């Protein structure tokens, strides 16, 4: 049985989740550099009709975006390089074999106003888009040492442009039809890309957790209806990410573009059946600020942040080490072995505070997965259609979820992580209770098509009560 075969590996991978939020605030220095601050990384087989032979990778940046935060809305930085890394050989050693870079460009169109967007924005070519963001996609084959392709236009010659913000029914009517969906571009090589604001698909009662595990009943031990559906409604459980947007970068590629030999593997024993990915942000090493002129950037790019498996840096890396971890490479993760082999959250919280019987240190199972820290995907696992997906992934009988089939936007990595931390997947620790935070689904439904994240919340419809507490509103779709 596949679940049994992956038991030890899965347990190690899942234990990263713990009771921590995603990488929205994942290091002291990144609090000062939000446009380079990665939140989540996703990699999964597409379940879009007719495109299940594709892999989707996406990264979210600059979390907790208030939808009505104008007049200068959130944007990608034109001084940050946003990178997808793919490892497809050498037993997945944490060294990239393929890189897909997104480089953004800002054009400020002449206008007499004080805002970035004005009037009726009903097309991605609207003249009222005064801050016009475009981007270039660069694909590198590191084994051959060559740039495979570079695109700044789609297959029809349209500039690759960033979707504008969802301001409301007057400024951006029928947002998804007019602006969201048209911002999905197909490149001449058959890949599809998207960049723009989206709803944050991560869901979690962050407020209760960070109030020193002050969970709202019935959490943290869920049973019956509390462990089903969307979870306990507010105020019993509060999705701290509901109503907030993120900046999303997404790419869809045929499986054959990502494997080492260009194949589409069907046998799990095939050495090409598994690949892995992670996201990084980079800046040039020197920035000069010749005020009042604009900053100038020089030199090679250096890494600012990285994210592979969900929540690794939050759950396993101590606070004083987080900034260094963010700047390090997965291939060098052996330097973090001492922290990964004996995680504080397992022994200090679950065992020390809740008196749960947890696996003892040293955690060699963790070392086998988090060294290096990359999100692995078995390409032979068929995608599960959206309505049939189980939020608990393999714990709910759905191996297309985290970690066997990568990570999907709807996977409940917090509850999976709680249960794995308690030992549900480790042989000899099968009596763990069904732990969880009480939030069992995103505040708004995911899309069943690329880029899968829901449309961004509208500024006009946003409110503190309906926008951030418990369940958000699907606005402007």
- How confident is the prediction along the chain (477 residues), in pLDDT tens digits per residue? 343 333 333 333 333 333 344 557 677 777 788 999 999 999 999 999 999 999 999 999 999 999 988 888 999 999 999 999 999 999 999 999 999 999 999 999 998 889 999 999 999 999 999 999 999 999 999 999 999 999 999 999 999 999 999 999 999 999 999 999 999 999 999 999 999 999 999 999 988 888 988 989 989 889 888 888 777 777 788 888 988 999 999 999 999 999 999 999 999 999 999 999 999 999 999 999 998 998 999 999 999 999 998 878 877 788 888 899 899 999 999 999 898 778 787 878 777 877 777 888 887 767 766 789 999 999 999 999 999 999 999 889 999 999 889 999 999 998 987 887 777 777 776 667 888 999 999 989 999 999 999 999 999 887 655 554 455 554 444
* 475 falls within a domain: no
The span from the CA of 120 to the CA of 118, in Å, is 7
* 474 falls within a domain: no
The span from the CA of 257 to the CA of 305, in Å, is 26
* 337 falls within a domain: yes
Number of structural domains in the chain: 1
For position 404, what pLDDT does the model report?
84
Give the 3-state secondary structure of residue 296: strand
* 476 falls within a domain: no
The span from the CA of 95 to the CA of 11, in Å, is 23
* 289 falls within a domain: yes
For position 471, what pLDDT does the model report?
55
* 477 falls within a domain: no
* 405 falls within a domain: yes
* 114 falls within a domain: yes
> What are the residues whose beta carbons fall under 8 Å from the beta carbon of 400, sequence distance 6 or more?
44, 45, 381, 382, 383, 384, 389, 393, 408
Query: Could you list the residue range(s) of the whole structural domain that residue 459 is in?
Result: 2-468
pTM (2 decimals)? 0.92
């Amino acid at each position: 049985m596949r679940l049994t075969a992956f038991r030890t590996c899965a347990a190690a991978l899942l234990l990263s989740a713990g009771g921590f939020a995603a990488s929205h605030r994942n290091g002291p220095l990144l609090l000062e550099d939000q446009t380079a601050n990665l939140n989540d990384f996703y990699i999964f087989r597409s379940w879009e009709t007719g495109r299940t032979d594709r892999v989707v990778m996406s990264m979210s940046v600059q979390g907790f975006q208030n939808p009505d935060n104008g007049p200068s809305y959130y944007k990608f930085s034109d001084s940050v390089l946003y990178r997808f890394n793919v490892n497809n050989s050498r037993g997945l050693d944490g060294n990239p074999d393929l890189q897909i870079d997104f480089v953004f460009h800002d054009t400020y169109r002449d206008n007499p106003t004080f805002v970035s967007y004005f009037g009726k924005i009903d097309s991605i070519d609207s003249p009222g888009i005064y801050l016009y963001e475009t981007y270039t996609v660069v694909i590198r084959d590191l084994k051959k040492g060559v740039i495979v392709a570079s695109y700044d236009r789609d297959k029809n010659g349209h500039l690759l442009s960033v979707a504008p913000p969802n301001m409301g029914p007057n400024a951006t009517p029928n947002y998804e039809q007019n602006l969201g969906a048209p911002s999905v571009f197909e490149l001449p090589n058959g890949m599809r890309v998207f960049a723009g604001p989206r709803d944050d698909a991560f869901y979690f009662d962050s407020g209760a957790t960070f109030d020193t595990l002050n969970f709202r009943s019935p959490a943290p031990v869920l049973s019956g209806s509390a462990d089903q559906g969307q979870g306990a409604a507010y105020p019993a459980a509060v999705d701290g990410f509901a109503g907030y947007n993120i900046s999303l970068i997404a790419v869809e590629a045929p499986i054959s573009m990502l494997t080492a030999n260009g194949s589409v593997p069907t046998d799990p024993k095939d050495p090409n059946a598994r690949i892995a990915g992670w996201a990084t942000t980079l800046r040039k090493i020197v920035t000069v600020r010749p005020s009042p002129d604009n900053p100038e950037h020089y030199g090679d790019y250096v890494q600012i942040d990285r994210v592979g498996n969900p929540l690794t840096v939050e759950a396993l890396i101590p606070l004083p080490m987080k900034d260094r971890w963010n700047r390090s490479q997965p291939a060098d993760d052996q330097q973090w072995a001492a922290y990964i082999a004996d995680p504080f959250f397992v022994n200090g919280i679950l065992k020390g505070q809740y008196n749960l019987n947890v696996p003892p240190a040293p955690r060699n199972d963790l070392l086998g997965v988090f060294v290096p820290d990359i999100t692995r995907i078995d390409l032979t696992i068929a995608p599960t259609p959206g309505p049939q997906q189980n939020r608990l992934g393999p714990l709910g009988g759905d191996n297309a979820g985290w970690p066997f089939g990568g990570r999907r936007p709807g996977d409940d990595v917090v509850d999976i992580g709680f249960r794995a931390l308690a030992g549900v997947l480790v042989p000899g620790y099968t009596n763990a209770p069904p732990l969880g935070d009480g939030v069992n689904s995103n505040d708004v439904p995911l899309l069943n098509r690329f880029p899968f994240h829901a449309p961004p919340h509208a500024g006009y419809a946003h409110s503190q009560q309906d926008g951030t507490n418990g369940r958000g509103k699907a606005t402007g779709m």
